[in-house]
Copies of this chain bind each other. A is one copy, B any other.
Amino acid sequence: MAETARHSESRYGNRPTMKDVAARAGVGLKTVSRVVNSEPGVTPDTERRVQEAIEALGFRRNDSARVLRKGRTASIGLVLEDLADPFYGPLSRAVEEVARAHGALLINGSSAEDPEREQELVLALCARRVDGLIVIPAGDDHRYLEPEMKAGIATVFVDRPAGRVDADMVLSDSFGGARAGVAHLVAHGHRRIGFIGDQPRIHTATERLRGYHAALADAGIEVEDAWVSLGPTDPARVRAAAEAMLTGPEAVTALFAGNNRVTVTAVRVLAECDRRIALVGFDDIELADLLGITVISQDAAAVGRTAAEHLFRRLDGAAHAPARVELPTRLIPRGSGELPPE
């Protein structure tokens, strides 16, 4: 029977290690390490020999081992709701750019708006010992993160506040934006305005609804129940909600859409409608200019950049109390929000 060669086939497909390089170059292990990390104290001749061995063997440093030894992974985690959502693409890209500038890689995960999945993802990232976390919360209780944060994983919450945990946050002014958008409709003569938003457990959804109520209260208008609809933002639900608001004697003359997905569906519904209904949407959308859609725009890239910069400032040692940054929104009139009631 052949002797058991239990490690004849190593895990990384027999990748050469520094030891192999050292053997081939006829130097010590640590000298290879020095060359690989451009540390001083190696004569040019020795360095050349090591470089040749590295080249010949196709050696590449194993960062897993390095991470274990050094304690820093040079990677950060980003947990968002859905990478495929056009709002999160630019945000994610902005985070990536900042990470890159700090020599860090980005690990991405989508929670699909499921609190359990969010937690699962976040904890997986913590187990990897990412240096920091940027989280767009799906759930509203983040106490599970406390031990992690105490253990030194810097965390910044984005777009929605953290639940029951004291941490840095970067938000958009949902309340103010919605209030301005609805006030805009009021200013153009509307008194019956519908609001279609996301599920009430999502902070931005209720904030925007609060803005809607504030604007109508400012105008002395009493809101009817039938004008407000919160829930999932899939096309079917939104379509049903919009159609309900547009029918009957009490039909609204204008709609406020609580986010980009709602706006998209609303535009489709209104295109099929025989009356001219005004529309203001939260979040800008590509080609909205050509379609003449008035929106409340938030700068997703700026949100991501701000959050990432915060994070790295923490990683660089900033120890001030958790900060809450609120970025402004901007109303962009393009026609749909300026239609008069009919």
| Residues of A in contact with B (beta carbons under 8 Å apart) | 10-15, 58, 60-65, 67-68, 70-73, 75, 82-86, 88-90, 92-94, 96, 105-110, 123-129, 147-148, 150-152, 264, 267-268, 271, 285-291, 301
Which 3 pairs, one residue from A and one from B, show the smallest C-beta to C-beta distance? Answer: A11-B71, A13-B152, A58-B147
Specify which chain B residues have a CB less than 8 angstroms from the CB of A152 in the assembled complex.
Answer: 12-13, 15
Q: What is the CA–CA distance of A105 and B122 in the complex, to the nearest angstrom?
A: 11
- A92 CB to nearest chain B CB (Å): 5
- A117 CB to nearest chain B CB (Å): 9
Which listed residue, B12, B85, B107, B148, touches A75 by the CB 8 Å rule? B107
Specify which chain B residues have a CB less than 8 angstroms from the CB of A291 in the assembled complex.
Answer: 287, 290-291
Nearest residue in B to A91 (C-beta to C-beta)? B84
Which listed residue, B85, B89, B287, touches A267 by the CB 8 Å rule? B287
Specify which chain B residues have a CB less than 8 angstroms from the CB of A127 in the assembled complex.
Answer: 60-63
Specify which chain B residues have a CB less than 8 angstroms from the CB of A13 in the assembled complex.
Answer: 150-152
Nearest residue in B to A153 (C-beta to C-beta)? B13
> Would you call A128 and B285 a contact (CB within 8 A)?
no
Q: What is the CA–CA distance of A92 and B61 in the complex, to the nearest angstrom?
A: 28
> Would you call B83 and A89 a contact (CB within 8 A)?
yes
Nearest residue in B to A78 (C-beta to C-beta)? B108
Q: What is the CA–CA distance of A186 and B202 in the complex, to the nearest angstrom?
A: 50
Nearest residue in B to A124 (C-beta to C-beta)? B105
> Would you call B86 and A88 a contact (CB within 8 A)?
no
> Would you call B129 and A63 a contact (CB within 8 A)?
yes
Nearest residue in B to A15 (C-beta to C-beta)? B151
| 23 pairs, CB–CB < 8 Å, chain A vs chain B | A12-B71, A14-B151, A15-B151, A60-B126, A63-B128, A63-B129, A64-B67, A64-B129, A68-B68, A82-B93, A85-B89, A86-B286, A88-B89, A89-B89, A105-B124, A106-B107, A107-B107, A264-B286, A267-B290, A268-B289, A271-B290, A287-B288, A291-B291
A71-B107 contact given A62-B127, A64-B128, CB 8 Å threshold: no
Which listed residue, B10, B62, B287, touches A286 by the CB 8 Å rule? B287
